[in-house]
Every structure is written in C-alpha cells, then in structure tokens.
C-alpha cells in the first residue's frame, strides 16, 4: 500500500509541475522572443512513480513581427544575442527589442548590455541595424559605424538554462557558445525593425493544462482511497 501512495504522491508532484509550466507558457505567449518550456518526466524504478527530471525550453523560432522601431531586431534562423548578464556571466537571448541605458549602451529588455558593447553618441541620428549586424548612424552629419552585433550558437541549444526574463545561460548540456557575425557558421541573419514573437502554441498548452489537471485529480483520488483503506485496516487491527 505504501508504494501505491508514494506513486500517487509522485503523480501529484509531476502533474503540478506540468500545470505550472503550461500556465507560464500561456502567460508569456505575447512576450517577444519567449521560448515555451516543457517538463521532462522520468519514471522511477520498482513502480515508485515518476519525477520531473528537468524543465527544458523549446527553441523553435517564433514568427517575425514588423514594428518599425530601428532598435528592434529579430533573428532569422539560428543564434542568440550575447549580453552581459548579472554577476558578470554572459547571457543569451532571442529578445531583440533593444534600447539605450544611461550610458548610451545598447541593452536588451532587462537592461543587460549587448556583448560586445555598442555605444551610441548623443548627437547620433538615423540609427539603423543591418541584416549583418552592423550598427550605423549619422554622427556630425557623417555616416558612421558604431559597432557590430554578434550572434552565438550552440551544438545543443535545448540544453541552455533559463535565468528568467528571457535570458539563457550556457551549460554542460548546451556546450560552449560559438560566436560570429550573423549569416556565418550556421548563424541566422537579422531582420531589422522587427521582433520575434513567442513560439507558444496556445491550443497545445491548453490541452497540456487540461491533461495535467485531470492527472492531478486522478492521483489525488488514489491518495484519498489509499488513506481510507489504511484507516480501515488500522481500525480492524484495533
């Protein structure tokens, strides 16, 4: 009886994790560059149930959406924008909705500067980002190149770790980052004045949420039934 209760309890935990993942995906379906996550479930030996082995993000690209903002940039194909993340770590993101901080550095939506750093002079006008990552502007009435946006790709991008806010971190599973210009080494080109939409499949997430809720209810009933049986046996012994 105890193994049965343990199996049902593990089912509660697994389905709870599935519901949380689906709810987070649905909540972020309109977040530019957001990558939907899935819960990887691993069975335990001796019919002891299952556990949530990992939460992995799916790396299929979302559709590009034209915004007309010169600092918005989507990636057409593979690759991630490298940024200087918190704690000195290099982070990676597909959210190419850039802005400028107080130091006039190009930053991602969370305020992390692009790596390598690109600064925009105060008197710069006609700022533009090319498909090859070249950032140009007119400075003092003359055309100027301010820097070049690089992309990073990975042997296994699904192995990247989520740090929240659309930021991803390198891991042993992802392998090391390979840096280079857009359009080289398997990296995609950039789509200027556009944002990448999320890759959340709303219909699929609703189905996942419903299935997880039904699984949770079924395991809750199993726990309740096992508890009643145990109570009955104890009463008989008494």
Note the pLDDT of residue 146.
97
- 118 and 46 in one domain? no
Asked if 220 and 161 touch (Cβ cutoff 8 Å), the reply is no
Please report, rounded to a whole number, the percentage of residues in the chain having pLDDT higher than 90: 71
- 233 and 166 in one domain? no
12-21, 116-125, 156-165: lowest mean pLDDT where? 156-165
- 140 and 216 in one domain? no
Under the banding of pLDDT at 50, 70 and 90, the label for residue 166 is confident
- 166 and 72 in one domain? yes
Read off the pLDDT of each residue in 8-25 and give the average, rounded to a whole number. 93
Read off the pLDDT of each residue in 79-84 and give the average, rounded to a whole number. 96
CA neighbours closer than 13 Å in the CB half-sphere of residue 213:
8
Note the pLDDT of residue 41.
93
| Structural domain span for residue 160 | 64-196
Under the banding of pLDDT at 50, 70 and 90, the label for residue 234 is low
- 222 and 167 in one domain? no
- 225 and 170 in one domain? no
Note the pLDDT of residue 54.
86
Note the pLDDT of residue 134.
97
Q: Please enumerate, as own/partner, the contacts of 53-61 that have beta carbons within 8 Å and a separation of 24 or more.
A: 55/17, 55/21, 55/162, 56/158, 57/158, 57/160, 57/162, 57/168, 58/158, 58/199, 59/35, 59/157, 59/158, 59/160, 60/199, 61/94, 61/196, 61/199
- 204 and 190 in one domain? no
Note the pLDDT of residue 217.
94
Rounded CA gap, 43 and 24, in Å?
Answer: 24
| Number of domains composing the chain | 2
Query: Does residue 85 surpass a pLDDT of 90?
Result: no
Read off the pLDDT of each residue in 16-21 and give the average, rounded to a whole number. 96
Read off the pLDDT of each residue in 91-106 and give the average, rounded to a whole number. 95
Query: Does residue 8 surpass a pLDDT of 90?
Result: no
Read off the pLDDT of each residue in 67-95 and give the average, rounded to a whole number. 93
Query: Does residue 59 surpass a pLDDT of 90?
Result: no
- 126 and 95 in one domain? yes
- 170 and 71 in one domain? yes
Note the pLDDT of residue 44.
86
């Amino acid at each position: 009886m105890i193994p049965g209760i343990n199996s049902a309890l593990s089912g509660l935990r697994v389905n709870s994790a599935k519901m949380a993942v689906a709810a987070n995906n649905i909540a972020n379906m309109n977040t530019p560059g957001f990558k939907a996550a899935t819960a990887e479930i691993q069975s335990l030996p001796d019919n002891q149930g299952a556990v949530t082995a990992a939460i992995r993000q799916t790396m299929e690209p979302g559709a590009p959406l034209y915004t007309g903002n010169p600092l918005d940039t989507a990636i057409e194909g593979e690759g991630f924008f490298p940024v200087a993340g918190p704690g000195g770590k290099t982070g990676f993101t597909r959210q190419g909705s850039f802005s400028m901080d107080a130091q006039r550095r190009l930053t991602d939506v969370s305020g992390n500067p692009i790596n390598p750093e690109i600064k925009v002079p105060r008197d710069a006008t006609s700022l533009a980002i090319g498909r090859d990552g070249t950032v140009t502007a007119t400075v003092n009435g003359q055309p100027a190149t301010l820097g070049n946006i690089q992309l990073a790709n990975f042997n296994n991008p699904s192995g990247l770790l989520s740090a929240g806010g659309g930021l991803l971190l390198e891991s042993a599973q992802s392998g090391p980052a390979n840096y280079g210009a857009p359009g080289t080494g398997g990296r995609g080109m950039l789509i200027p004045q556009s944002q990448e939409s999320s890759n959340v499949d709303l219909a699929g997430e609703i189905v996942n949420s419903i299935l997880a809720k039904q699984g949770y209810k079924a395991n809750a009933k199993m726990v309740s039934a096992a508890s009643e049986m145990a109570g009955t046996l104890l009463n008989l012994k008494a």
